[in-house]
Amino acid sequence: MEFPQAAIRFAWHALHYCSLYRRVSAVQYFYKDANALQIVRGIQGAYDLDVFIFLPAQTGPLITMSPLYDILRERGYVFDAEHVIIHDTPVQFLPAYNPLSEEAVREAVFYDYEETPVRVIRPEHLVALAFQTGGRHRRIRAEALLEDGDIDADRLNAILARRTIILP
Amino acid sequence: MNETEPTPIELEAARLFAAKREWHRRQAQAPLKEKVRILLKMQRDDYPLLRQRGALCSWERPWNIEP
């Protein structure tokens, strides 16, 4: 069976558009008065948004996101599993969970999104986080970023050396 | 060794990442029409930033179509 050329063009454009490089996006929906100290857009190139947060200090063997979720529920947002649907966009809040992710949040850069300043994790940190966390999909995204050439190699190498991350 | 024991925050992050994997698995099974709707939404959402990066090809601008 032969695919129609128009369908092939559509698929190619869609794939290209969705590539990580082209989607350096920072659609950030955040609420500023919660307990989180910083909220930073994390992983790019996906429909859902990852928002890294610094959680307030908690005691006990388990960390809970309940205070955050409670505030969102009070504001009328609905949940889809661990995602909060905010303005029709699934958003997942993730705690900065280790020194590398904390550093990534601290060093996130500002973008201007229609006159709203938003903070986005640097691509070098995204690559480092992807390789540190592992997994096929993350590795593919990280490799796409590396191939894109929009990476500051010196900065990336410094991060990898500092965090003892070895690229496969 | 204590170093290898996950901290509570690492455990919570692992739980959230697992939930994300499951969510993406379900998303992958969505009908084509829903996937196109998502693509169009992503185009609209990201356009304000993309246009700041310089000239865009015509197909990189939001497509004026309905899924």
Res. A75: pLDDT tops 60: yes
- CA distances (Å), B60 to each of A1, A13, A21, B42, in order? 29, 8, 12, 11
CB contacts, 8 Å: B27 with chain A = 47
ipTM of this complex > 0.90? Answer: no
HEC sequence for A17-33: HHCCHHHCCCCCCCCCC
Q: What is the pLDDT of residue A148?
A: 66
CB atoms A95 and B12 under 8 Å? yes
Which H/E stretch holds residue A72? helix A66-74
CB contacts, 8 Å: A43 with chain B = none
CB atoms A92 and B13 under 8 Å? no
- Give the pLDDT band of residue B66 (cuts 50, 70, 90): confident
Q: What is the average pLDDT value for chain A, to the nearest integer?
A: 68
Q: What is the pLDDT of residues A132-162, one digit of tens each?
A: 887 777 777 778 778 766 788 999 999 999 9
Take residue B53 and report the two structure tokens written for it: 């990066």
User: On the CB side of A84, how many CA atoms lie within 13 Å of its CA?
Assistant: 23
Distance from CA of A158 to the nearest CA of B (A): 23
The residues, any chain, with a CB within 8 Å of residue A122's CB and separated by 6 or more, are A104, A107, A108, A109, A155
CB atoms A114 and B48 under 8 Å? yes
Res. B58: pLDDT tops 60: yes
CB contacts, 8 Å: A137 with chain B = 24
